[in-house]
């Protein structure tokens, strides 16, 4: 098991001194340029795959990188979005899905989620994503892992697009979009190759980010 205490010691000894000026500046400054909404999956590390420095990204990570459509009331995801857009003034929001996403796999293959009711409830926020890709569970009955993988990949992409649509229902996002001060991007990160594709919201074609 990874020793977190040893990691902190190594950070303070080897890493912090090399960025001391940056951290001194960040002590009183918080001006991220991007709100990055990714999956909680441990393999998807926003700062690593974008090679960002501390202070660059305001990050929200949820299971399945889901962004519930706006509804009034206490909501941690909505509060984070509003703070990033209306207070910090980020200029772009990236919603990043990824290959082999456990949440999308559970939906695409219609896994039994009775033992994890909170997960099942949360994943209802992907209902529209699922509706766009067809009937859940067909991948499993098709009988080949390749077909199942393809269906999960399709759902991952449609889910990113659906979350971009949900994002636009948040008043702070809608205001910033109307004012022309905000760009929304949909990405998909491929774990085995490190590739990142950018999805056009209304166009199914994907192009590499870099």
Cβ 67 vs Cβ 95: under 8 Å: yes
Tell me how far, at minimum, the Cβ of 119 lies from Zn ion, in Å.
12
Tell me how far, at minimum, the Cβ of 89 lies from Zn ion, in Å.
28
41 interacts with Zn ion by CB under 5 A: yes
Nearest to 97 by CA among 44, 147, 32, 133: 44
Q: Which lies closer to Zn ion via its Cβ, residue 176 or residue 199?
A: 199
Question: What residue spans of the chain are helical by DSSP H?
Answer: 4-10, 20-26, 46-49, 76-82, 102-108, 117-122, 127-133, 138-142, 145-167, 171-178
Binding-site string for Zn ion from residue 83 to residue 112, where x marks contact by CB under 5 A and - marks none: ------------------x-----------
155 interacts with Zn ion by CB under 5 A: no
Chain Cα centroid distance, residue 149:
20
Query: What phi, psi does 21 have (nearest 5°)?
Result: -65, -40
156 interacts with Zn ion by CB under 5 A: no
How far is Cα 167 from Cα 159, in angstroms, rounded to an integer?
Answer: 12
Tell me how far, at minimum, the Cβ of 100 lies from Zn ion, in Å.
8
Tell me how far, at minimum, the Cβ of 65 lies from Zn ion, in Å.
7
Q: What is the DSSP letter of 91?
A: S
Query: Which one among 39, 85, 90, 167 touches Zn ion, defined by CB under 5 A?
Result: 39
Site residues for Zn ion, window 157-196 (CB under 5 A)? none
Q: Which lies closer to Zn ion via its Cβ, residue 30 or residue 43?
A: 43
Tell me how far, at minimum, the Cβ of 60 lies from Zn ion, in Å.
14
The site for Zn ion (CB under 5 A) is made up of 39, 41, 101
């Amino acid at each position: 098991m990874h020793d977190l205490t040893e990691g902190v010691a190594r950070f303070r000894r080897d890493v912090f001194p090399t960025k001391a000026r940056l951290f001194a500046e960040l002590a009183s400054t918080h001006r991220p340029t991007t709100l990055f909404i990714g999956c909680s999956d441990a393999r998807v590390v926003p700062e690593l795959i974008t090679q960002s420095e501390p202070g660059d990204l305001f990050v929200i990570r949820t299971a399945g990188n889901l962004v519930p459509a706006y509804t009034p009331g206490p909501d941690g995801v909505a509060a984070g979005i509003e703070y990033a857009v209306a207070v910090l003034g980020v200029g772009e929001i990236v919603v990043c899905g990824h290959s082999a996403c456990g949440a999308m796999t559970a939906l695409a293959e219609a896994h039994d989620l009775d033992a994890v009711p909170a997960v099942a409830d949360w994943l209802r926020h992907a209902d529209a994503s699922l509706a766009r890709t067809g009937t859940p569970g067909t991948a499993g009955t098709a009988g080949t892992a390749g077909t199942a993988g393809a269906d999960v990949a399709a759902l991952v992409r449609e889910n990113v697009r659906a979350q971009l649509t949900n994002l636009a229902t948040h008043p702070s996002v809608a205001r910033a979009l109307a004012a022309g001060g905000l760009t929304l991007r949909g990405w998909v990160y491929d774990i085995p190759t490190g590739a990142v594709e950018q999805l056009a919201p209304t166009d199914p074609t994907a192009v590499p980010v870099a």
